[in-house]
Structure 1
Amino acid sequence: MARSSSGPVVAGLTAAALAVVGFLAFQASAAPDNPAKAGAAHSSPSGHPKDKGKGDGKGGPDGKDKASTAIPASSGSGLRVVYALKAKRVWLVGENEQATRTFEVAPSSVSPEPGTYQVPPRGRSPQLLGSDGVQVEHVVQFHIGEGGIVFGFSAALDGSTPDPNATKKTGAVREQRADGAAMWKFATTGTKVVVVP
């Protein structure tokens, strides 16, 4: 019975091919634009990728382009909180016109009208029961609308988000807990809150 000398060669080529395929799969999974990786590393209240950490407002570690996280041009000037309704995004903007943090939020069933508001005296609460019955922390209110609807930023202790389709009219703007803590430090009494479309 004759023995083939090609056996070790074929086995060596197969092993090399598998190594190359494995390496390429690893590179694809580590790519910054991989949606599965971005969603796991930077989840938001709405379930979309976000810039979780501090940034300059011109893009973040999640690979978003500069335009998607740039401070809205029509948001005024000076130290302020900027809330973009359509983008469901907030920027904490310092006196130097640089965003110290930007993140996505989850709004409730009612949104405030675009305009400039201010955190009022007694508009901050470390913890309370939200208008939707959920225990929340780091509450920063900025407006009371028609019908007594209170608009404010908060983070649910259980991590839940409000139902935007709820029949009950509520004005909570929910953040993740780390973002809520940053908002609490930043938006003291008298801080301007600019709501843009």
Structure 2
Amino acid sequence: MPSSSSTFVAGLTAAALATVGFLAFQASANAPDDPAEPRRGSAPAKAAKAPGPIASTALPDGSGAGERVVYALAADRVWLVGADGHVNRTFKVAPGSVDPLPGSYAVRSRSGAITGTDGAPVEHVVRFAEADGVTIGFSAALDGSPPERDPRVQTGGIRQSVADGDAMWAFATIGRPVEVVR
């Protein structure tokens, strides 16, 4: 019968799609925060930092209250914090050569897709500060690359993975507080 074979094929297709979806979910749930974890260059703007990264992924003390993005300079880590103070997501980032000063900011502009200062196509650009005439914001390189290190070019792009960029884009709308801590 043609209808029973069509039903059988449809059932197999649905089972295959469910299996692929489950395996993709498992792979993303077990992926490291930042598989590339690039080595950092030493730009003059970085010299004033406290030595060494923060060992914990716990939300830093003194990082504000309420719904906000928290960016820890020494740890190169971001937290997306809900209104109840619960951390919705945390992840490693790769900063550009210019850091924002510690303090309170707010998301002031966003771009869906642009070319980064280093020439890489980036998406989900969330800008929140300016330092030394350089605009600073989070972005995700479409190819997953860390920012290029060119000592002649000052960059304020803070790179995150594409998946983390998707989460940042959904969370960090215009006006969302951004707390920068050492």
TM-score, structure 2 as length reference: 0.71
Superposed CA offset, 1:113-156 (max 9, x none): 11111011xx1111011122111000000012222x01000000
Going from structure 1 to structure 2, the CA distance change for 1:79 and 1:101 (only over 3 Å counts) comes to same
Superposed CA offset, 1:5-62 (max 9, x none): xxxxxxxxxxxxxxxxxxxxxxxxxxxxxxxxxxx931516528xxxxxxxxxxxxxx
Name the SS for the 1:107 alignment partner.
coil
- Superposed, 1:8-23 pairs within 5 Å as none
Partner of 1:135: 121
Name the SS for the 1:68 alignment partner.
coil
The Cα shift of 1:74 comes to 1.0
Partner of 1:99: 87
Superposed CA offset, 1:72-107 (max 9, x none): 111010110000000000000001001100000000
TM-score, structure 1 as length reference: 0.66
Task: Work out whether 1:125 is the aligned partner of 2:108.
Answer: no
Q: In the aligned structure 2, how far is the partner of 1:118 from the partner of 1:99?
A: 18
Counterpart amino acid of residue 42 in structure 1: P
Counterpart amino acid of residue 90 in structure 1: V
The Cα shift of 1:167 comes to 2.5
Partner of 1:194: 179
Name the SS for the 2:56 alignment partner.
helix
Confirm or deny: 8 A CA contact 2:33 2:92 kept in the other structure. Answer: no
Name the SS for the 1:69 alignment partner.
coil
Equivalent pairs counted in the alignment come to: 137
Equivalent position to 2:152, from 167, 182, 186:
167
Partner of 2:76: 88
The Cα shift of 1:158 comes to 1.2
Partner of 1:183: 168
After superposition, the CA RMSD in angstroms is: 1.7
Partner of 1:114: 102
Structure 1 residues without counterparts, runs of 5 or longer? 1-39, 49-66
Partner of 1:51: none
Task: Work out whether 1:146 is the aligned partner of 2:136.
Answer: no
Confirm or deny: 8 A CA contact 1:81 1:191 kept in the other structure. Answer: yes
